Structure 1
Amino acid sequence: MSLPPYLLEVGLEASAHQLEVAETLIGVGRFLVIFVAARLLAELLVRLQLPTILGELVAGVLIGVSGLHLIVPPETQAAVSGAVLELVGSLADLPAASVRDIYVESFPSLEAVANLGLYALLFLTGLESELDELVAVGGQATTVAVAGVALPFALGTLGLMLLFHVDPIPAIFAGASMTATSIGITASVFGELKMLRSREGQIVIGAAVLDDILGIVILAVVVSLAGGGSLELGPILKLVTAAVVFVVAAIGLSRSAAPAFDALIDRLKAPGEVIVASFVVLSLSCFAATAIGLEAALGAFAAGLILSTSKHTHAIQESVKPVVALFATIFFVLIGTGMDLSVLDPTNPANRPGLVIAAFLLVVAIAGKVAAGWAFLSKQPTNRLVVGLGMMPRGEVGLIFLGLGTQAKLLSPPLEAAILLMVIGTTFLAPLLLRLVLAGKDGGPDADALAEIPT
């Protein structure tokens, strides 16, 4: 049996069996810690009438770099618990240093599983979206998305430059980190509140999709600036055009491809035909999105839209929900594991500049998205505060921006801490505020028909 290259590198003086034992213990141990921690916190928060996603994020914080160091993303530069390394090393008969190398090198496999959970969740979100209703609120969603990108970006960038004298490139990068909305977190919260099919839910999901597209464009521009490259209009227009064509094509395919999908399912006899065929469509859509320079997450949502008119929609939903329950949990826990809350300590003088900037960024990040809820015209009654709050969480999108800025060495420690706190604040506050605003209300006439998205 051949070993992965990284196992060969760390195992020059160890047997193949020892290395395989260590890798297996690390892999299985991660899943064990994640699921136990997430379930305990989720059960606690459900009893407090709070969204389970918040429990998963808190679980990640407790077991991650801010807590027990049981699950530590390598990019955080934090060390995994020495007790964990010693335990695995003693069981596999390997030195702790070798176990640490295996831990770091095998971490991408856990992130790949987490991404599968994100894609499954976005696929389910698209599947449960009423396409006619989503198109009907297209104008409002577009206005909300544009306002929700422009306001935080402009206010954040200009505020950092004028009030805190931050250089233009870091200021633009920080402003860009506030533009996108985490569609994964938004979808999970609205699904849990049974609001996905409400008018507010459809506007928010549609705007979050457009936010993702606009965020890709801004990310391309900022990365070009950070790398010292020249800003060329041609590639930017090409990217925007590709995104628009992709979304329009997905909407069109929902009318033509779904019947063909139904005909195929009716001919298949082997068990698992619904889930396998659905994930083939999901994979093709993610592949197509990535191939033309878009985010795979956008492709996952588009795949759900394509199959949303299938007569097998209910069967697909029931097949996908267990996948979401398992793997989306890993995704949200991993977000929490990377959050370093030590930057919240005001007694450390080094943290204070970051806390002041963080307070500014958090206010702008919240106000910009909430204000976007009032940026559209509607003849129908709409809870605009719900729309604004639904656009608030940055989640993994903000962390991606932060990671890129750190990697490119664009951010000073205070600005890096400030962006992290902005991401943490918006991610944690959005579910809580939505729960408070919607307390005692149902999700509208379709609420009973919409099954809760498990996370």
Structure 2
Amino acid sequence: MLLPTLLSEISSHDLEVAETLIGVLRFILIFVAARTLAEVLVRFELPTILGELLAGVIIGASGLHLLVPPETQVQLSGVFTDAIAALAHIPGEDVTAIYDESFGALRSVSNLGLYSLLFLTGLESELDELMAVGVQAFSVAVVGVVLPFALGTLGLMTIFHVDAIPAIFAGASMTATSIGITASVFGELGYLRTREGQIVIGAAVLDDILGIVILAIVVSLGAGGSLEIAPIIRLVVAAVLFVVVALVLSRKAAPAFDWVVDQLKAPGSKLVGAYLLLGATCFAATAIGLEAALGAFAAGLIASASKHRHEIQAAVMPIVGLFATVFFVLVGAGMDLSVINPSDPAARSALVIAGFLFLVAIIGKVAAGWAVFSKEKTNHLVVGLGMMPRGEVGLIFLGLGTASGLLNPGLEAAILLMVIGTTFLAPVLLRLVLKGKPPEDGNEVPEELAADPMAGAS
């Protein structure tokens, strides 16, 4: 509800006009800024999500102050308030109050974008490909999760004296691997069908599952503000069981889901069915004390075995393109990058932490490349570099931490620099290592296995 004094001083018509103008102008700013930078980055073969995040930084609390989340306590730009005041015929000081009160609606839209993106991530997870190189992918994934998580968490707590829950969250944010970036580079260089390519893709799927489980537990613990053993055990058990049930349902429940969708004859039935599944799993995850984000990812896993998978994917992608953009722009808009200003002595500690996280992020994933325990010849460096980019998955993790209020501005900025650094560096290093070097004989996955990974699983 708006403040009583504000309601009494502004007519209902002027109030409605002001709210509409503020909402529309925010969306215009978000999409113009995000698409402009996305168009620039896509021409350099970099993730457009980075452009959306940087757009938020530019128009947000660290830049032009045109999109300012209320919790940042940053003053909204006079250009914004004066324009709305003149058009809605209300005092300029009241624009800020209306802006803050209506910001929750924009946050709800961004959450829909996050859940849709996680649903799409689960939907695109090739569990059959994971099983085709299951043992090697599993070992790489476990080392690629445990090593950066342990080194990052312990280093932040012992060296930089960061509190336990923020340190654990920062460590968990380094467990991610961007499937999209690595697959794009491997595909361009002809390495996607190689053994290394299949191992990295499989391990990246497992990384995402393990990382989201860890983050769901950390966010839930952060809400309680304690690190007692009993709640941790309960959450771990609940998260593991939740994911296991989702994986089982991805094999067993697909026919029932398809039958329900087939009974819906009205236009958009597949999209409606997918979002009913999404809502049910988010509700179930929240009801047992986990994050709704884990439920969204689980919904994607369940729908991944549906015969309507590609149609659902095509229907969901435009929603992700719209609403996930809002989510990432808001993440960037809420960041205060003044905490990493090198000219400010008080801010240099955040830069040091960023350098530490970046180093651990590289070492942890590259070392995982040597966790391929097999007699077959493997390019361990290629596997390790393929696991390195955090990309959009790392930004999803960062967004969860920002939304839950677990991170201070310095740690937020440090994680952001780690994600950006590994995302830019990994494709460059992979191209340097693989350029002009065709897959070695005997190291390429047979064509029938690449098309049907289960063909060699038995």
374-383 or 92-101: which moved more? 374-383
Aligned residue in 2 for 1:267: 263
1:88, distance to aligned residue in structure 2 (A)? 0.8
Give the aligned length: 428
- Deviation readout 1:201-259 (Å, 9 max, x if unpaired): 231122122112123334455665xx4x57242x2222111111111111221223211
CA distance in 2, matches of 1:333, 1:279: 23
Give the one of 47, 50, 75 matched to 1:54.
Answer: 50
Maintained 8 Å contact 2:282/2:293: yes
361-370 or 291-300: which moved more? 361-370
Maintained 8 Å contact 1:339/1:424: no
3-state SS of paired residue (1:254): helix
Maintained 8 Å contact 1:157/1:175: yes
* Structure 2 residue identity aligned to 1:368: G
1:25, distance to aligned residue in structure 2 (A)? 1.0
* Structure 2 residue identity aligned to 1:384: V
- Deviation readout 1:105-159 (Å, 9 max, x if unpaired): 2222212111211221221222222222235566556555554454345434544
Gap change, CA 1:149 and 1:129, over 3 Å in 2: closer
Maintained 8 Å contact 2:220/2:290: no
Give the one of 278, 285, 309 matched to 2:281.
Answer: 285
- Deviation readout 1:309-338 (Å, 9 max, x if unpaired): 211112111111111111111122222212
CA distance in 2, matches of 1:19, 1:338: 26
CA distance in 1, matches of 2:227, 2:126: 42
273-282 or 369-378: which moved more? 369-378
Maintained 8 Å contact 1:156/1:171: no
1:102, distance to aligned residue in structure 2 (A)? 1.6
1:308, distance to aligned residue in structure 2 (A)? 1.4
Maintained 8 Å contact 1:369/1:391: no
Maintained 8 Å contact 2:350/2:414: no
Gap change, CA 1:217 and 1:81, over 3 Å in 2: same
Mapping of 1:234-245 within 5 angstroms? 235-245=231-241
Maintained 8 Å contact 1:72/1:338: yes
Maintained 8 Å contact 1:365/1:426: yes
TM-score (norm 2): 0.82
User: Is 2:420 the partner of 1:423?
Assistant: no
Aligned residue in 1 for 2:7: 11
Aligned residue in 2 for 1:129: 125
User: Is 2:319 the partner of 1:323?
Assistant: yes
Give the one of 164, 168, 180 matched to 2:172.
Answer: 180
CA distance in 2, matches of 1:80, 1:280: 38
* Structure 2 residue identity aligned to 1:49: E
CA distance in 2, matches of 1:98, 1:370: 53
Q: What fraction of aligned residue pairs are identical, expressed as a percent?
A: 50
1:280, distance to aligned residue in structure 2 (A)? 0.9
Aligned residue in 1 for 2:454: none
Mapping of 1:112-151 within 5 angstroms? 112-135=108-131, 143-144=139-140, 146-151=142-147
Gap change, CA 1:191 and 1:388, over 3 Å in 2: closer
Maintained 8 Å contact 2:120/2:300: yes
Aligned residue in 1 for 2:201: 201
3-state SS of paired residue (1:364): helix
User: Is 2:384 the partner of 1:388?
Assistant: no
Maintained 8 Å contact 1:156/1:174: no
CA distance in 2, matches of 1:403, 1:182: 18
Give the one of 55, 73, 93 matched to 1:97.
Answer: 93
1:375, distance to aligned residue in structure 2 (A)? 4.1
Aligned residue in 1 for 2:151: 155
Aligned residue in 2 for 1:453: none
CA distance in 1, matches of 2:29, 2:127: 39
Give the one of 226, 248, 251 matched to 1:255.
Answer: 251
Aligned residue in 2 for 1:22: 18
Structure 1 vs Structure 2 CA RMSD: 3.4
* Structure 2 residue identity aligned to 1:109: A
Aligned residue in 1 for 2:424: 432
Gap change, CA 1:87 and 1:150, over 3 Å in 2: same
CA distance in 1, matches of 2:132, 2:116: 25
* Structure 2 residue identity aligned to 1:231: E
CA distance in 1, matches of 2:137, 2:163: 27
Aligned residue in 2 for 1:246: 242
Maintained 8 Å contact 2:165/2:218: no
* Structure 1 residue identity aligned to 2:228: L
Aligned residue in 2 for 1:452: none
Aligned residue in 1 for 2:76: 80
3-state SS of paired residue (1:11): helix
TM-score (norm 1): 0.82
Aligned residue in 1 for 2:66: 70
CA distance in 2, matches of 1:310, 1:293: 28
CA distance in 2, matches of 1:160, 1:261: 45
CA distance in 2, matches of 1:142, 1:123: 22
Aligned residue in 2 for 1:214: 214
Gaps of 5+ in 2: 452-458
CA distance in 1, matches of 2:133, 2:223: 32
CA distance in 1, matches of 2:157, 2:175: 29
CA distance in 1, matches of 2:73, 2:244: 41
